Amino acid sequence: MTSTTQPLEARLHALLPSHPALRTSLLPALLTSFTQIAQTLRTSQRVALAGSANHFGDDQLNVDVSCEKHIRDALEGCPSVVVASSEEDPVEVAVAHAPGAQTGEERYSVAFDPLDGSSIIAPNWTVGTIVGVWAGDTAVGVSSSQQIASLFGVYGPRTTAYMAIRLPGQDDGGVCVELGLNEDNRTWDVLREKVTLTQEPKARYFAPANLRSAAYSEPYMDLIHHFIRERYNLRYCGGLVPDLVHTFVKGHGVYVSPVTARDGPKLRRLYELLPVALLMECAGGRAVDPQDGRDVLDRVVRGTEEKGGLVCGNAEDVEMVMRTLRRG
Amino acid sequence: MTSTTQPLEARLHALLPSHPALRTSLLPALLTSFTQIAQTLRTSQRVALAGSANHFGDDQLNVDVSCEKHIRDALEGCPSVVVASSEEDPVEVAVAHAPGAQTGEERYSVAFDPLDGSSIIAPNWTVGTIVGVWAGDTAVGVSSSQQIASLFGVYGPRTTAYMAIRLPGQDDGGVCVELGLNEDNRTWDVLREKVTLTQEPKARYFAPANLRSAAYSEPYMDLIHHFIRERYNLRYCGGLVPDLVHTFVKGHGVYVSPVTARDGPKLRRLYELLPVALLMECAGGRAVDPQDGRDVLDRVVRGTEEKGGLVCGNAEDVEMVMRTLRRG
């Protein structure tokens, strides 16, 4: 593991020498919006009421709207961003820019979930933002080779971020970078130049989403028994961002969001699955569809509201999970 | 549910009219130390390395030591505090005060865990501080009627706190208050005057600690099957503070840290079980020992290193868990 205090700018220049707009405008703007979201959350004590008050919807909406606005404001400041859509407003629309702003040669489409994990905002658990960036004029109906970057903003005791970058045509590889926010001066430091899952874990972890569906899915129940019998550690907070960040930090772990006959798929492909899958692959892990075992990134997403299941994490455990689920 | 922006001072005056040192010195000092801990954690980006680096011990130790120092400094400023001990240094020692400071009529003993949840600090998940306050010259070997207050500091996207107060002799009742930090001016607002678990939940939640021990404990495995079958939601982040705060915010939930023949008890009675149990009882819930079903607060703790199991949460689920575990 490499650890430095290298500023972000130098790292981005090394990774993206030929994409100046992405490197100097879009990615820094998104990271700055994560800082703003962190500050909004820190002063939104009233969401503490969201879990039990009658005003749940309103409270939640207020925070979601604030967080979405920070990201949309950031995108408006980036002339290279052509269209954007969000989980809160799932329609791709053109992004307005300042009069006279020139798009230039680089053109990007952005899809984002401003605040993932709404059920755990009230109890003050770590939550996150998910962003995907595609080269070109749309994120919908295109090959994953167009998906050039994805990011997590992570709002916990401190503010961190994960940024995956994979250049078009460079299907194998890419890099996942871990960043820490210096709040005083709003700069970002590279904490790890390359997040990499390990093959030799000190401990194994599992995160079983929608566990109660195991009541009517024998393969899922078999899988849970396997985890318990093989002494995996349970860590499941119910937020996609913190649950996957746990894997990035521990270097190992597997997340399972199953699809059963009774429960349909839960995760949005454009706003959750595709960005998550790019991050996981760039960290050396795998992200597959539990329904057919295909890599998440191999499926072209045809609409902004498509949903799917997810098995992701270190390759060995993803393969074990798929063997167990498909035996059913 | 009562929601106000009542300042803390007024609420404390109403709750503790005859305990001025506790009200105006010790409790505010502890809450201020939580603010300092939150600020320390926010700027300790290097703990992000703790999960996988060779320097795990050192990194963790640095954060733990900083957090402990904030609390010890707070206690030194409170002449009413006679002795203190912590999970990091589990020996009751006299607290030094400024020359000339007079202890006065109120005398308190404090036991605390400065930073609970060390395994989830690196992934930037919510963590917390646990503090217990006893009337008198020691916290060890005394009746729970001496336990006058306990607190959680909660460090997540924002900083919150829970404070239980139960006056000596007032065995039934007491109150659990939810607080939010205004970081700008370091004041605390009362978010909920009285945290109360509900009898009519919208959803049920469970947090199963050491789940892998179900592999060799049939009663624990039966319990897990019951939760799944009855459609309880799994929420288990592996930090005692955030896992119980989830219950306080959702108004419902049950936490199970079992004791099996193979795995001994995991939680420290003085630093974790007693403060947690007071908070849970003051919120209208229950906290019992899974080995004999006795209320946690009914057992006199004889040494600072004693450990136990825990079943706590809303009374109905605690009783169901105990029936299931004892059938084994």
Among the partner residues A48, A198, A249, nearest to B160 by beta-carbon distance: A48
Binned at pLDDT 50, 70 and 90, residue A7 comes out as confident
Q: Tell if the CB–CB gap between B249 and A52 is shorter than 8 Å.
A: yes
3-state secondary structure of B96: coil
- The whole-number pLDDT of residue B65 equals 87
Would you say residue B52 has pLDDT above 60? Answer: no
- The whole-number pLDDT of residue A52 equals 37
Instruction: Determine the Cα angle at A132 with ends A128 and A134, to 5°.
Output: 170
Distance from CA of B105 to the nearest CA of A (A): 36
- The whole-number pLDDT of residue A102 equals 84
- List B residues 116-155 in contact with A (Cβ-Cβ < 8 A): 120-127, 154-155
Q: Is B314 on the interface with A (CB under 8 A)?
A: no
Q: Give mean pLDDT, residues A286-298.
A: 97
Number of other residues whose CB lies within 10 A of the CB of residue A107: 16
Which has the minimum average pLDDT: A3-7, A122-126, B52-56?
Answer: B52-56
From the candidate CATH numbers 3.40.190.80, 3.40.50.300, 3.40.640.10, 3.40.50.880, the one assigned to the domain spanning A205-327? 3.40.190.80
Would you say residue A314 has pLDDT above 50? Answer: yes
- Position with higher pLDDT, B60 vs A110: A110
List, for residues A89-117, the tens digit of each pLDDT value: 899 999 999 998 888 899 999 999 999 98
> In this predicted complex, what is the ipTM?
0.93
- Looking at chain B, the number of H-run helices and the number of E-run strands are 8, 15
- The whole-number pLDDT of residue B35 equals 95
CB-CB contact of B318 with B312 (8 Å): yes
Q: Is A186 on the interface with B (CB under 8 A)?
A: no
Q: Tell if the CB–CB gap between A236 and B233 is shorter than 8 Å.
A: no
Distance from CA of A253 to the nearest CA of B (A): 12
Tell which of B237, B247, B255, B256 to mutate to test the A interface (max A CBs under 10 Å).
Answer: B237
Tell which of B37, B228, B247, B266 to mutate to test the A interface (max A CBs under 10 Å).
Answer: B228
Would you say residue B58 has pLDDT above 50? Answer: no
* Mean pLDDT taken over chain A: 90
Which has the minimum average pLDDT: A53-57, A170-174, A191-195, B268-272?
Answer: A53-57
Tokens for A27? 């990615």
- Secondary structure (DSSP) of A272-291: IIHHHHHHHHHTT-EEE-TT
- The whole-number pLDDT of residue B169 equals 66
- The whole-number pLDDT of residue B327 equals 83
List, for residues A182-193, the tens digit of each pLDDT value: 877 778 889 999
Q: Tell if the CB–CB gap between A178 and B48 is shorter than 8 Å.
A: yes
DSSP conformation class of B296: G
Alpha-carbon gap, residue A286 to A172, rounded angstroms: 12
- Residue A201's Cβ-count burial label (10 Å; 0-12, 13-18, 19+) is middle
- The whole-number pLDDT of residue A290 equals 97
Nearest chain A residue to B251 by CA: give it.
A52
Binned at pLDDT 50, 70 and 90, residue A1 comes out as very low
Per-domain boundaries in chain B: 8-192, 205-326
- The whole-number pLDDT of residue B281 equals 96
Binned at pLDDT 50, 70 and 90, residue B47 comes out as low
Long-range contacts, A297-302 (Cβ 8 Å, 24+)? A297/A144, A297/A147, A298/A144, A299/A269, A300/A141, A300/A142, A300/A143, A300/A144, A301/A139, A301/A140, A301/A141, A301/A269, A301/A270, A301/A274, A302/A140, A302/A141
DSSP conformation class of A301: P
- Looking at chain A, the number of H-run helices and the number of E-run strands are 8, 15
Cα separation values, A223 from A123, A168, A226, A288, Å:
29, 36, 5, 16
Q: Tell if the CB–CB gap between A237 and B237 is shorter than 8 Å.
A: yes
Would you say residue B50 has pLDDT above 60? Answer: no
Would you say residue B2 has pLDDT above 50? Answer: no
- Position with higher pLDDT, A300 vs B103: A300
- Position with higher pLDDT, A245 vs A99: A245
Would you say residue B276 has pLDDT above 70? Answer: yes
Would you say residue A209 has pLDDT above 90? Answer: yes
Among the partner residues A48, A182, A249, nearest to B52 by beta-carbon distance: A249
For chain B, give the percent of residues with pLDDT over 90. 76
Distance from CA of A126 to the nearest CA of B (A): 5
Distance from CA of A42 to the nearest CA of B (A): 4
Taking CB atoms and an 8 Å cutoff, what residues of chain A touch B51?
249-251
Q: Is B40 on the interface with A (CB under 8 A)?
A: no
- List B residues 192-231 in contact with A (Cβ-Cβ < 8 A): 192, 198, 208, 211-212, 214-215, 221, 224, 227-229, 231
List, for residues A24-60, the tens digit of each pLDDT value: 999 999 999 999 999 999 988 876 444 433 333 444 5
Which has the minimum average pLDDT: A184-198, B52-66, B89-103, B112-126?
Answer: B52-66
Taking CB atoms and an 8 Å cutoff, what residues of chain A touch B155?
156-157
Q: Tell if the CB–CB gap between A52 and B237 is shorter than 8 Å.
A: no
- Secondary structure (DSSP) of A78-132: -TTEEEEEETTEEEEEEPP--TT----S--EEEEEEEEE-GGGTTTT--EEEEEE
- The whole-number pLDDT of residue A156 equals 97
- The whole-number pLDDT of residue A183 equals 77
For strands A159-165 and A175-182, give the pairing: antiparallel
Distance from CA of B71 to the nearest CA of A (A): 18
Among the partner residues B180, B211, B221, nearest to A234 by beta-carbon distance: B211
Taking CB atoms and an 8 Å cutoff, what residues of chain B touch A246?
120, 123, 125
Alpha-carbon gap, residue B113 to A158, rounded angstroms: 20
Would you say residue B136 has pLDDT above 80? Answer: yes
The CATH number of B8-192 is 3.30.540.10
Please report, as a single letter, which amino acid is at residue B263: D
Taking CB atoms and an 8 Å cutoff, what residues of chain A touch B46?
191
Q: Tell if the CB–CB gap between B181 and A232 is shorter than 8 Å.
A: no
* Mean pLDDT taken over chain B: 90
- The whole-number pLDDT of residue B171 equals 59
Would you say residue B82 has pLDDT above 90? Answer: yes
Name the helix (H) or strand (E) containing B254: strand B254-257
Q: Tell if the CB–CB gap between B236 and A235 is shorter than 8 Å.
A: yes
Topology adopted by domain B205-326: D-Maltodextrin-Binding Protein; domain 2 (3.40.190)
